[in-house]
Amino acid sequence: MAGHSQFKNIMYRKGAQDAKRAKIFAKHIREITVACKEGAPDPDMNPRLRNAIAAAKADNMPKDNIARAIKKAAGGGDDTNYDEIRYEGYGPGGVAMIVEALTDNRNRTAAEVRAAFSRHGGNLAETGSVSFMFERIGLIHFKDDVADADTMFEAALEAGAVDVETHEDGHTVTCAPDDLGAVRESLEKQFGDPDRAQLDWKPQNTVVIDEQAAGTLIKLMDVLEDNDDVQRVAANFDIPEDVMERLSV
């Protein structure tokens, strides 16, 4: 299992996260709120809001919940101001990690993220210390039943994407960050709404880790993603299949 995309990280822990549905919805509401405040409440006029809605739908967030979040943010019903912060550091086995957060209390979030790293064999580092190991990309994911691999590949390249990877869990389309909106809109016309459409971090290289480091790393990522302020976690790990099988037992 390679940790090169947040979507893969989410899919790996999907079963565990289903039990935390309320917390997941709260994260989506926070992203929707920020998107509305920085742009129009109309997703057709606000790419970030459109991406936030797509992500919420992918996690089965009810339409009524999404509509209420937009209405509250647009109507001034939520006066909380969130700061966007990126933390960088190293996890077990020397894995480079990027943590993106939306927080109304920088000191609290920094302390909690730092504690999570230190308790699980990692350490935070200065901003920029690991991000150079990653490439900023636009990521769009569709379920596997919307098209076959060749059809998706041709459509994605025509739309301006850089690459397409087809796996058993679907099609992952990558593009330049500035092209995310245009590529997503083009593909939506052919295949409908994607599961995910977001900016992501893709590592230039991955680090192969052993069973002990993998077990601790997964715990660290679970703790981070369980934090209310953390929106995304990206890491450059690669866990061999045999290790994954033993960890799953």
Tell how far CA 140 is from the center of its chain: 11
The reply to whether 91 and 105 lie within a common domain is yes
Would you say the C-alpha torsion 17, 22, 25, 30 has a positive or negative sign?
Answer: negative
Question: Is 1 inside any structural domain?
Answer: no
Question: Is 248 inside any structural domain?
Answer: no
Question: Is 31 inside any structural domain?
Answer: yes
pLDDT score at 21: 81
Provide the residue range defining the domain that includes 44: 6-74
The reply to whether 144 and 199 lie within a common domain is yes
The reply to whether 20 and 103 lie within a common domain is no
The reply to whether 137 and 199 lie within a common domain is yes
The reply to whether 12 and 95 lie within a common domain is no
pLDDT one-digit tens code per residue, 171-230: 999 999 999 989 998 999 999 988 888 889 999 999 999 999 999 999 999 999 999 999
pLDDT one-digit tens code per residue, 114-135: 999 999 999 999 989 999 999 9
Question: Is 246 inside any structural domain?
Answer: no
pTM metric for this prediction: 0.84
CATH number at 156 reads 3.30.70.980
CATH number at 64 reads 1.10.10.200
pLDDT one-digit tens code per residue, 19-43: 578 888 999 999 999 999 888 889 8
The reply to whether 183 and 198 lie within a common domain is yes
Q: What is the mean pLDDT of residues 66-74?
A: 90
Per the structure, the count of domains in the chain is 3
Gyration radius from the chain CA atoms: 18
Residues of the chain with pLDDT > 70, as a percent, come to 91
Question: Is 19 inside any structural domain?
Answer: yes
CA distances, 214 to each of 67, 134, 218 (Å): 39, 20, 6
pLDDT one-digit tens code per residue, 150-179: 999 999 999 999 999 998 889 999 999 999
Q: Which of 74, 96, 120 is a domain's end point?
A: 74
